[in-house]
A and B are shown apart, each in its own frame.
Chain A
Amino acid sequence: MSSDVVTSGPSGPKGRTADRPARAAVLRGRERYIPVMATGALLLAMFVVGGMRYEAFASGQIVLNVFIDNAFLLVVAIGMTFVILTGGIDLSVGSVVALSTMISASLVTGQGWPPLLVIPLVLLIGAALGFAMGCIIHYFDIQPFIVTLAGMFLARGLCYTIGTDSIPITDETYTAIAQTRIDLSAEMFISPSVLIALAVVAVATYVLHYTRLGRNVYAVGGNEQSAMLMGLPVARTKIAVYTISGFCSALGGVLLSFYMLSGYGLHAVGMELDAIAAVVIGGTLLTGGSGYVLGTVLGVLVLGLIQTIISFEGTLSSWWTKIFIGMLLFVFILLQRLITARRP
């Protein structure tokens, strides 16, 4: 490179310094979307294969059923997306979901409280749990893994202080919501839970892309030290994401109680791992700073569709779901590694 060509002043060769990085930028700009696009392509391929293999697979209701059966997972995974975008992890979500169903069921069925009071209370408890974990993680500078692991045991244990058996919910509001079908066309319908989940998706997308909180989430995930030096509210952001995750878990719990019409300490066992899997398959980097809500939606759909395909297959045991999810995770983690690997 001949540095003597570059002269000082405004008459300097502007174009020369401009075009080289710009070209690289086009590539890099696209690289960010590769994981999401890969997930989308995978989803499409699964549909095509399923449609060819099984009769009655290629119908709109199949897709909608995936949404209906996984609305709660979607909500939980959205909360997890916020946490993972900051580079953290939240292992407590499955337990918080279970705790939410348990509190709902015991208050509604056992105490006869009105659902309109119980649901906000449950959401508040979830958010408060998340807030507390966020505070511990930030102010005591402890690994999110271990703090939320403690939260996981705590919430799961609390379920059994309420009751060891499944508590059925017979309240009219709950059963009404559980049975409501919102017809989209003659043979297609969704449940109210799907609407709630989609609303969460919309709000999450807006928050992440059009508010300072959302951008701070990406900044903290990109480089926490730099975010601090740039004067961003790191503490507030980190605590906020765990609060959001706690809130989403509680909301997921509410949706699950609509779906199951019961509260049980063994609900949603291992759901935190499903949520993490969905987020990662959706292309969000576990190290933080990169990922999209849309990816998480696609990730949840992939997981749901695997289950659908296996049930269509009929002969396969449901454990094959886990095997496929495991293999997909490997593939997607390797894909991320290849994309983020720096050129030597």
Chain B
Amino acid sequence: MATPVPILRMSGICKEFPGVRALSDVDFRLMPGEVHALMGENGAGKSTLIKVLTGVYDIDAGEITLDGAKVAFANPLQAQQAGISTVYQEVNLCANLSVAENIFIGREPRRLGRIRWREMRRRATALLDRLDLAIDVTAPLSAYSLAVQQMVAIARAVDISARVLVLDEPTSSLDAGEVEQLFRVMRRLKDEGIAILFVSHFLDQIYEIADRMTILRNGRLVGEYLTSELGQVELVGKMIGKELEDLTELDEKPKELEAVERSQPFVEARSLGRSGSVEPFTLTIHEGEVVGLAGLLGSGRTEVARLLFGADHATTGEVAVGGTPVALRTPRAATARGIAFCSENRRAEGLIPDLTVRENIVLALQAARGWSRPIPRRRQDELVDKYIQALRISPANPDQLVKNLSGGNQQKVLLARWLIVEPRLLILDEPTRGIDVGAKAEIQRLVASLADGGMAVLFISAELEEVLRLSHKVGVLRDRRLVAELPNDDDLTTGVLMETIASGGRT
């Protein structure tokens, strides 16, 4: 076990952004030679804490000590020089340069200003050997997998005298073998006495590699625990912030599953998967059925949706829509078959902020008709007015720019856009995130009534209550795998869902 003297200690850290208290009075300590997991749901303050530590943000209150000395970093470079290096999910290296250069650029061994290439290669090889990585250091970085690139980034960090290594979601896009390779390197560095701060949404990985964990929730410290002493169910409970018992009773359920299962299956995915993204899953969505997808952030919920919408290419499996096998190679192909996708990232992937409400709403319909058949203005106005009223978009002004609307109303505009094309399957990815309670209830009501009208809905949400309230059946994802498909009957509660998420359906 780690020695009792922490190399890094953060105490009483507070960080405020305009209107948000991102961190309040958080303590954190890191021992040399340990892998310490930082846990928490989205918005819990993990990234803020890491950014405070690595000098991206300054702190409003509290202090950071490294090796007993008080430190304050103005930028990541200073933190790096002090021995705190960060490797992010997306590798911040230059793929066009060789592996050796990526490790040494800016610090190349030189003689009279001339770079000593041979010396550089020798050192790079030696360094990577230490990490158990035997690769050709003269090859460009782009020749290697993301996993190897990450390890090269780690090698660079370690060589710049890192004593504290921050790994921010390094495993998000790695496959199982690559994760194992990364863990081998992490264990080796740990044995050398380097303190590693590890962030991952994969619970299994945390339990495999981490010695200790610190849990944050809503910018506050929940506690520090030894991994061996905290069960997975307790961990999920602490992250979500509700004890299991509080969640086990719940209200209204949608209609019986059998009723909808009797109708036509609309989409059938068989062993559909994409390597490095989501493992093969089999899922059937019937007409008039709401299928919920539950799972922690990064568990593969959005990836499933993107596969069904053709936004990503599947590497395995097949899809049948309305009984006919089809290749959903592009979103356009999916749209043509009546599939619509409301992205969770409404600003980046959905709405066009500088267009008006009307223009945003008719966009998908116009795209479906083709540019040569513009929708007459009168018809546009009719449709838009109808949906503005039906969804209670406010202000009820079709000429308002979308960027001036509140989050909830933006979401409704996005919904309206897809409803107008009358899809047969509507994929909703986090439709209620970040919007107020009233709008949330309206959207939920709408989803239920759409399903009553025969539309198939795939409903993705981080909020288990919401998933339970709306869905006929719930698919549970964990670590990019569909681990369970549960009928939403009287026995299914948020507690059961949480246990399934925590245990991976193995109980």
List the interface of chain A (C-beta within 8 A of B): 1-3, 6, 8-10, 12, 14-15, 17-18, 21-22, 24-29, 32, 209-212, 215-216, 218-219, 221-223, 225-227, 229-232, 289-290, 344
A9 CA / B184 CA spacing, docked (Å): 6
Residues of B within 8 A of A10 (CB): 132, 188
Given A21-B148, A215-B101, verify A3-B177 contact (CB < 8 Å).
yes
Q: Which of A2, A212, A226, A344 contacts B94 (CB 8 A)?
A: A226
Q: Which residue of A lies closest to B81 (CB)?
A: A231
B449 interfacial by beta-carbon distance below 8 Å: no
Whether A289 contacts B94 by the Cβ 8 Å rule is yes
Whether A344 contacts B139 by the Cβ 8 Å rule is no
Whether A210 contacts B136 by the Cβ 8 Å rule is no
Whether B97 contacts A215 by the Cβ 8 Å rule is yes
The total of chain B residues at the interface (CB under 8 A) is 43
Whether A22 contacts B139 by the Cβ 8 Å rule is yes
Whether B144 contacts A25 by the Cβ 8 Å rule is yes
A73 CA / B362 CA spacing, docked (Å): 54
B355 interfacial by beta-carbon distance below 8 Å: no
Whether B92 contacts A225 by the Cβ 8 Å rule is yes
The total number of A-B Cβ pairs within 8 Å is 118
Q: Which of B76, B132, B176 contacts A3 (CB 8 A)?
A: B176
Given A1-B177, A212-B110, A218-B97, verify A22-B140 contact (CB < 8 Å).
no
Residues of A within 8 A of B135 (CB): 18, 21-22, 25
Residues of A within 8 A of B465 (CB): none
Question: When each residue 462-498 of chain B gets 1 if its CB lies under 8 Å from chain A and 0 otherwise, what string results?
Answer: 0000000000000000000000000000000000000
Whether B134 contacts A6 by the Cβ 8 Å rule is no
Residues of A within 8 A of B183 (CB): 8
B180 interfacial by beta-carbon distance below 8 Å: yes
Whether A211 contacts B94 by the Cβ 8 Å rule is no
Whether A215 contacts B105 by the Cβ 8 Å rule is yes
A21 CA / B143 CA spacing, docked (Å): 7
Residues of B within 8 A of A9 (CB): 184, 187
A226 CA / B108 CA spacing, docked (Å): 17
Given A10-B132, A229-B76, verify A21-B184 contact (CB < 8 Å).
no
Q: Which of A15, A215, A290 contacts B115 (CB 8 A)?
A: A215
Residues of A within 8 A of B176 (CB): 1, 3
Q: Which residue of A lies closest to B187 (CB)?
A: A8
Given A12-B132, A29-B139, verify A222-B145 contact (CB < 8 Å).
no
Whether B177 contacts A21 by the Cβ 8 Å rule is no
Q: Which of A14, A15, A29, A219 contacts B105 (CB 8 A)?
A: A219
B211 interfacial by beta-carbon distance below 8 Å: no
B114 interfacial by beta-carbon distance below 8 Å: yes
Given A8-B184, A226-B93, verify A21-B144 contact (CB < 8 Å).
yes
A26 CA / B76 CA spacing, docked (Å): 35
Q: Which of A15, A21, A222, A231 contacts B95 (CB 8 A)?
A: A222
A15 CA / B179 CA spacing, docked (Å): 17
Q: Which of A1, A29, A221, A223 contacts B143 (CB 8 A)?
A: A29
| CB neighbors of A among B192-241 (8 A) | none
Closest-CB distance, A113 to chain B (whole angstroms): 35
Given A3-B180, A21-B144, A22-B136, verify A218-B106 contact (CB < 8 Å).
no
